[in-house]
A and B are shown apart, each in its own frame.
Chain A
């Protein structure tokens, strides 16, 4: 179902540190997962995705890990920069019977603050 968060979790790191943002999902049928970055007043920006037949995927400075056993997803950002400060959302979807039209269910989001 929909995810509505009243108070977003926060993560504060120093510039240059690695950041790890976690996300738990509940639908065991979900088979596609996406991480989005949302800066204040803007729409979500695609970061990286992973399909359920994988447990790790790497991009530029980012890595997504998927643990289907415990229904957990994480986003690792290497050498975090002040420009990485934003709200990060995980999203999940599944193609149940081909009728879902790719509907995404969003996690509650995590506020990442990077201090210079």
Chain B
């Protein structure tokens, strides 16, 4: 149980284009999903918290107009990197939890999406 998938697993795009990454909870309903970014040899950095049916909450320094997040259902959240540039190249990872009280549910992570912007 508690399987989270991401699609695509890797993507290469040209500078200036937009890329959409999907995160799905396969065997549970996730009221909250999280999007992280990870650079090589570094830890995970939280970008935003996505709650089903409401606007995402972005961490300080993360541009909400550049990283569009939609959490339209209890099993799907999407991250769209708009007008991608080479500095957006990174490993994007989502996670999902099923807690409804903002409490201490464990987050289960997707396999990540490697984005390379040329």
7 additional A-B pairs beyond A8-B42, A34-B106, A109-B43, beta carbons within 8 Å, are A2-B46, A4-B43, A36-B109, A95-B103, A98-B102, A102-B105, A102-B107
Q: Which of A3, A41, A102 contacts B99 (CB 8 A)?
A: A102
Contact between A6 and B49 (Cβ–Cβ < 8 Å)?
no
> How far apart sit A18 and B107, CA to CA, in the bound complex (Å)?
27
Interface residues of B in 97-116 (CB under 8 A from A): 97, 99, 101-112, 114
Interface size band for A: 20 to 34
The stretch among A42-50, A58-66, A68-76, A77-85 that forms the contact with chain B is: A42-50
Q: Which residues of A contact B95 (CB under 8 A)?
A: 43-44, 104
Residues of B within 8 A of A (CB): 4, 6, 32, 34, 41-46, 49, 51, 57, 59, 91, 93, 95, 97, 99, 101-112, 114
> How far apart sit A46 and B114, CA to CA, in the bound complex (Å)?
21
Contact between A106 and B102 (Cβ–Cβ < 8 Å)?
no
Q: Which residues of B contact A104 (CB under 8 A)?
A: 34, 46, 95, 107
Chain A-chain B contacts (Cβ-Cβ < 8 Å), number = 83
Q: Which residues of A contact B91 (CB under 8 A)?
A: 41
Q: Which residues of B contact A31 (CB under 8 A)?
A: 104
Q: Which residues of A contact B104 (CB under 8 A)?
A: 31-32, 51, 93, 95, 102
Q: Which residues of A contact B57 (CB under 8 A)?
A: 101
Contact between A8 and B102 (Cβ–Cβ < 8 Å)?
no
Q: Give 11 pairs: A residue, B residue, CB < 8 Å, sorted on A.
A: A2-B59, A6-B42, A34-B106, A41-B112, A101-B57, A102-B103, A102-B104, A102-B105, A105-B46, A107-B43, A109-B42
Q: Which of B44, B49, B108 contacts A89 (CB 8 A)?
A: B44
In the complex where A43-B93, A43-B111, A102-B32 touch, is A108 in contact with B106 (Cβ < 8 A)? no
